[in-house]
Structure 1
Amino acid sequence: MNSPVYVLGTGLSHNGSAVLLKDGRVCVGIEKERLNRVKHDGGNDNLAIQYCLDAEGIQLKDISLVVQCANFDIPDRNQYKGKRLFTEAPDLKIVDISHHLAHAYSAVGTCSFSECAVMVIDGCGSPLDQFLKLHPEQKTYINLEILNEVQMVCEKDSFYHFDGQKLIPLIKDFSKMAEKSGGLFSLPTTQHSIGGFYASVSHYVFGDMDDVGKLMGLAPFGKSGVYDFEAFKFKSGNLFVNEDWKNQFTNPSKGYEYFKNNFDYYANVAKWAQEQVEKAVLKCIQNRLEKFPHKNLCYSGGVALNAVANAKLQDSKIVENIYFEPAAADNGLALGCAFYGWLEYLKMPKVPHDGSTCFGKTYTNAEIEAAYNKEENRKYNSKKFSNVNDLADYCAEKLNQGKTIAWFQSGSEFGPRSLGRRSILAHPGIEGMKDHINLDIKFREDFRPFAPAVLKEKVNEYFLHGRNSPYMILVDKTKSEHLEKLKNVTHRDDSARVQTVEESWNSKFAKLLTAFYKQSGIPVLLNTSLNKKGMPIVETPEEALDLFEITALDILVMENYVIEK
């Protein structure tokens, strides 16, 4: 029997990760932050790679190929912010690819299309000199003006065609880096990128770079039309940022208290910025598709996590089918590296992906019991269910009574969203539940919304557009007749970042939703990530128990074990 072919992808910029393919299919993948508990961490990749090797039960010598990607440099095989594991495998082949190529392959490797267009939009990709060193044959796709630029320029958006095996670049746009002036909007992004613009406004509004997605959550509290100037302009088909918008904003946040005292002002700024991004994304993608039409589109890069802009893009009908890559930000680079290795470098045929984005390892009963049996956990009550339907019925009953449940099942999600493997779950309609979770469990800002997880076959009944949204990456509107019973998962403007739950790769979560529907008459649960503010999503049983201890969570379910306070 032939040995399996393993390809390892590793991403070393911020949001570092590692992904292992076995014969063209993802067998394991993890973000570094889940292991060392430092949010958005990157750099040295030993932890994430070792996790993948251990989960699959293999060694470096079993790997056929490694593909790697870092933002601003080409990592040395033996040293990168510390000694690397590859020093022990000097014969192992290591290939380097550029930032946007990794984003693009992460999408085409996991999409269902046999052929498609691919759009990548983010804040900052590979510098031009590094890009040309890696891909000298692509010089012809780059504007002469960019090639002659004396300052450092980096990728800001890229458009490709995927023919089922390889990516062909069609349009590559680069931008100068934003000037490091120390001013209000000085950030390590490109000057003319949508991602850079959004990050700088987020920094202005919140005073930190912890979670750019907060801006999208704040925007519905603002009013349209307060500001009548444009952030972006198009020239010769390329996107540029109008620098003079920065002169309009002179009151940056000085911390959370200051933000709260000036809430309406910052909400209006967020609303303006969100609307600017929506227009820019649509215009940019429309421009590319007019030149190179295709009915299928893959979309990746950090900007592709903007669920509101994504819904507008889908509603625009500029293409028939869009696949939004669930790990669209830099955590997905390792996934793209691995698929590049399989498809482009090894020239192996694409293997259909099952739609799952849960690539973590499953923890055994023994590992769960070892964590739970520590002295400090004796104060909790516990029981073990032998039947998954009985477990679902019991948990559904508790949720219907208003209990909050930490739900820890199987391999963890890869990407920023908890989808029913590492989730906090609650009733979507009980009065005060949203505020209780924000205040006493997540310890985060009270304006931030929670997502509804809904049985896929019921989405049309409860939400206006009935979008298929398995990765919680599109917004919809809650239907008016269901606003009261879904008050904890419906945002200020009646929007909801829906997750449609599929039994094929999320069966235990689907069973729980079905049981809750039978008991409550509502096929929807509040679903948010199993963490608190500033903390990466929980990975291990020990971490789940620690979070359970320090928050107001009522119940922790790990596989078939139920632990209650």
Structure 2
Amino acid sequence: MYILGISAYYHDSAACLVKDGTIVAAVQEERFSRIKNDASFPESAIKYCLSAAGIALTEVDHVVFYEKPFLKFERLLDTIFAFAPHGLRAYLKAMPIWIKDKLFTRGNISKALQQIDQNWKEREGGLLFCEHHSSHAASAFFASPFEKAAILTVDGAGEWVTSSIAVGHGNNTNRIKYINFPHSIGLLYSAFTYYLGFKVNCDEYKVMGLAPYGKPVYRSLIYKCLVDVKADGSFRINMNFFNYASGLTMVNQNFVKLFGNKIRAKDETITKFHMDVAASIQNVTEEILLKIARDIKAKTGCENLCMAGGVALNCVANGKLLRSGIFKNIWVQPAAGDAGGAVGAALFIYYQHLQNKRKIGDENQMQQMLLGPAFSAEEIAHTLNKLNIRYHKLNPDSYLKTVAEKIADGMVVGWFSGRMEFGPRALGARSILADPRDPGMQLKLNLKIKFRESFRPFAPAVLQKYCHVYFNLRVASPYMLFTAPVSQWQLDGDEDDSFAVGVATLKEVRTTIPAVTHVDYSARVQTVDELNGSFYHLLQAFYLVTGCPILINTSFNVMDEPIVCTPEDAVSCFLKTDMDLLAFENILIYKSENLNIH
């Protein structure tokens, strides 16, 4: 039985094909269109999923959309009337889009599918709709290895629900508590993202990365004026300071006056004030999630917790939740945002709606997230010849050893191997790799490779068996979803020394792996084992060359572009950055030999 899950029209469209409960393929539309967070109908993503399975669309038993548009429209209307007359501008902007397009989502999906395969026809029960947070919950629980678990979903908003608690048992997820729009942790965090000059629904992770540079001096102000949080973690947002329910911006002038500074412009210098604001909302978010987690444990008694929704990508909060010991085991859906809704919708229909027998205990149901397109060495060589790229083809053993040696010599390497990752993280298939021991590498990667803000941290990929030597992390973290303290640190002085302030702290060497140690002595860890294939073998080779079992692993892209998908994408990104070496499928390309290629 084939189930095709689709997320589309709002943020980060994606498709996922499930066969008899096993994920065959999953990919975001942005990887094909090259438009970051592309929200259009995922036509290319669907075509890829079908080709990966070797089937036609007519062979799919059910197509399922990840949310219910009519419920979302109901929320829009109710919100506009509740905030009238302030919601008039939002109403005038939203109504034409809904009347022309979004109210007819079923028909639009049918037409789009018929364009993919003219023989496809909607039959009774063939096109289904799953509620947004049910999709999130299913993506977390049914992809987890647990027979029973508590489920926490937290994001900006679905149709109505913004946060939910459920219990998953066998083939069912049963919601026991929820909070509705406009009260939302995700939108609260996004409001601060907007205030700090970053892009909403895209740059929240920048706020998380900026937070360690500041101090949570506005924590009390946030609790006093913006959000009322109860002991069980339930909360209410004071909408007198926000515009997202009724306007076209996230915050209003009351919010600006409260903090005493105007909204930061996109290219404006980041100051200590901005760092302190980021630290404050990050601290509040962590505290709310910890309160919710304690309430979940008390209500359900479950030892296992599954998480999804955009807020579940806050790996700093996840790390603190893990270290709290509230739950014995925590499993976070790696594609926790809207793209993962395609996975959850498909799994919800297969297991909960159709009650098919569930596979339980498989720790790798997400298959290391390696669910996208792959390209053979012959296809890659054909592309390189077409582009007139000079390259060297090596045997597998010398290939890995050479790449490891070049990284140890200070080269920055674009790494392209096997199936592309699904979700927001590069996990060793479409990655930029470098030496974590180099104190200057963090700034070099940010400014000359990624072309992004200098304060942004980088993640370490570490061989699983050596993780405990470098990080205080008690579990495997194959998907970069937990931040952990770095064990080997304080090389420049004592913890209480008067260090530099703000971004200047980047110049301090804190650990034996300074390029992946954030200013608070933490790191977003990816553990790597044999399941990671050639990336694991490269890490092994680097360890043999250097005695260090860690590589910097960041996504193969530049700022505001999606992760590369094809060999053409990889070559294009490689040539327009200061990367030194491009490595894929036993082929090496040196920048120094291709300086005249454009």
Task: Quickly name the TM-score band, shorter chain normalised.
Answer: 0.7 to 0.9
Q: Does 1:239 align with 2:235?
A: yes
Change (3 A) 1:10 1:353: farther
Return the letter of the residue paired with 1:11: S
- TM-superposed CA distance for 1:11, in Å, is 0.8
Q: Residues 513-556 of structure 1: CA distance to partner in whole angstroms, max 9, x if unpaired?
A: 11111111111101100000000000111100100111111111
Pick the aligned partner of 2:514 from 487, 492, 495: 487
TM-score for both structures, normalised by structure 2 = 0.82
Separation (CA, whole Å) in 2 of partners of 1:9 and 1:375: 36
RMSD: 2.0
Q: Give the % identical residues.
A: 36
Structure 1: where are the runs of 5+ without partners? 127-153, 176-190
Separation (CA, whole Å) in 2 of partners of 1:285 and 1:236: 11
Pick the aligned partner of 1:273 from 259, 274, 281: 281
Q: Does 1:427 align with 2:435?
A: yes
Pick the aligned partner of 1:354 from 361, 364, 380: 364
- TM-superposed CA distance for 1:464, in Å, is 2.5
Q: Residues 367-406 of structure 1: CA distance to partner in whole angstroms, max 9, x if unpaired?
A: 21221112442xx3x222332x332211100000000111
Separation (CA, whole Å) in 1 of partners of 2:148 and 2:528: 26
Change (3 A) 1:302 1:207: closer
Name the SS for the 1:542 alignment partner. Answer: helix
Separation (CA, whole Å) in 1 of partners of 2:470 and 2:58: 52
Q: Residues 49-81 of structure 1: CA distance to partner in whole angstroms, max 9, x if unpaired?
A: 111112222101111111112464476344159
Separation (CA, whole Å) in 1 of partners of 2:198 and 2:573: 27
Change (3 A) 1:228 1:161: closer
Return the letter of the residue paired with 1:275: N
- TM-superposed CA distance for 1:413, in Å, is 1.0
Change (3 A) 1:252 1:330: farther
Residues 123 and 302, structure 1, Cα contact 8 Å, conserved in 2: yes
Q: Does 1:303 align with 2:329?
A: no
Name the SS for the 1:67 alignment partner. Answer: strand
Residues 28 and 42, structure 2, Cα contact 8 Å, conserved in 1: no
When the two structures are aligned, how many residues end up with a matched partner? 512
- TM-superposed CA distance for 1:232, in Å, is 2.9
Residue correspondence of structure 1 range 394-413 to structure 2 within 5 A: 394-413=402-421
- TM-superposed CA distance for 1:290, in Å, is 1.7
Residues 77 and 87, structure 1, Cα contact 8 Å, conserved in 2: no
Q: Residues 444-484 of structure 1: CA distance to partner in whole angstroms, max 9, x if unpaired?
A: 00000000110001010011235421110111111234844
Residues 454 and 525, structure 1, Cα contact 8 Å, conserved in 2: yes
- TM-superposed CA distance for 1:194, in Å, is 0.6
4+ aligned runs moved over 6 Å, structure 1: none
Q: Which residue of 2 aligns with 1:145?
A: none
Q: Does 1:10 align with 2:6?
A: yes
- TM-superposed CA distance for 1:82, in Å, is 7.3
Q: Which residue of 2 aligns with 1:211?
A: 203
Residues 416 and 585, structure 2, Cα contact 8 Å, conserved in 1: yes
Q: Does 1:518 align with 2:544?
A: yes
Separation (CA, whole Å) in 1 of partners of 2:569 and 2:405: 26
Q: Which residue of 2 aligns with 1:94?
A: 127
Q: Does 1:197 align with 2:209?
A: no
Name the SS for the 1:499 alignment partner. Answer: strand
Worse-matched range after superposition: 67-76 or 57-66: 67-76
Change (3 A) 1:257 1:38: closer
Name the SS for the 1:213 alignment partner. Answer: helix
Separation (CA, whole Å) in 1 of partners of 2:556 and 2:380: 17
Residue correspondence of structure 1 range 103-182 to structure 2 within 5 A: 103-126=136-159, 154-175=160-181
Residues 69 and 105, structure 2, Cα contact 8 Å, conserved in 1: no
Separation (CA, whole Å) in 2 of partners of 1:233 and 1:402: 50
Q: Does 1:370 align with 2:382?
A: yes
Residues 219 and 281, structure 2, Cα contact 8 Å, conserved in 1: no
Separation (CA, whole Å) in 2 of partners of 1:264 and 1:524: 32
Residues 44 and 84, structure 1, Cα contact 8 Å, conserved in 2: no
Name the SS for the 2:339 alignment partner. Answer: helix
Change (3 A) 1:75 1:390: farther
Residue correspondence of structure 1 range 51-70 to structure 2 within 5 A: 51-70=48-67
Q: Does 1:221 align with 2:216?
A: no
Structure 2: where are the runs of 5+ without partners? 71-102, 242-254, 492-509, 592-598
Return the letter of the residue paired with 1:213: Y
Q: Which residue of 1 aligns with 2:84?
A: none
TM-score for both structures, normalised by structure 1 = 0.87
Return the letter of the residue paired with 1:90: K
Name the SS for the 1:214 alignment partner. Answer: helix
Separation (CA, whole Å) in 2 of partners of 1:201 and 1:77: 35
Q: Which residue of 2 aligns with 1:546?
A: 572
Separation (CA, whole Å) in 2 of partners of 1:29 and 1:257: 35
